[in-house]
Amino acid sequence: MVEVLTLSKQEISGLLTMKEALTSVEEAYRAFGEGKAINPLAISFVVPRYYGEVDIKPAYIETIDCSGMKFAGGYWDNPKNYGLPSVIGIILLVDGKNGLPLAIMDGTQVGSYRTSAAGGVGAKYLARKDSENAAVIGTGNQGRMQLMALTEVFDIKLVKAYDLDLEGSKRYAEEMGRTYGIEVASAESARKAVKGADIIVTATPATSPVVQDAWIEPGTNINAIGADMPGKQELDPLIFRRAKAVVDYLPQCVEIGEIQHAVARGLLKEADVVEIGEIIAGKKKGRTSEDEITVFDSTGLGIQDVATAYAVYKLAMKRNVGKIIEFF
The residues that are catalytic are: 70
Q: What is the identity of the amino acid at 323?
A: K
The residues near 272 (Cβ < 8 Å, ≥ 6 apart) are: 245
Q: For the chain, how many helices (H) and strands (E)? A: 11, 18
Instruction: Give the burial string for 108-139 (b: 16+ CB within 10 Å, else e).
Output: bbbbbbbbbbbbbbbbbbbbbeebebbbbbbb
Q: Beta strand pairing status for 37-38 and 52-61?
A: antiparallel
Task: Single out the residue of 20, 25, 18, 16 nearest to residue 280, CA to CA.
Answer: 25
Rg of the chain (C-alpha set): 19
Q: What is the DSSP letter of 300?
A: -
Q: From CA 39, how far away is CA 67, in angstroms rounded?
A: 10
Q: From CA 179, how far away is CA 200, in angstroms rounded?
A: 20
How would DSSP label each residue in 50-93?
GTEEEEEEEEEETTTTEEEEEEEEEETTHHHHHS--SEEEEEEE
Q: In the beta sheet, which residues pair with residue 183? A: 158
Q: Phi and psi of 299, rounded to 5°?
A: -100, -15
Q: Beta strand pairing status for 158-162 and 133-137?
A: parallel
Are 211 and 194 in contact, with CB atoms under 8 Å apart?
A: yes
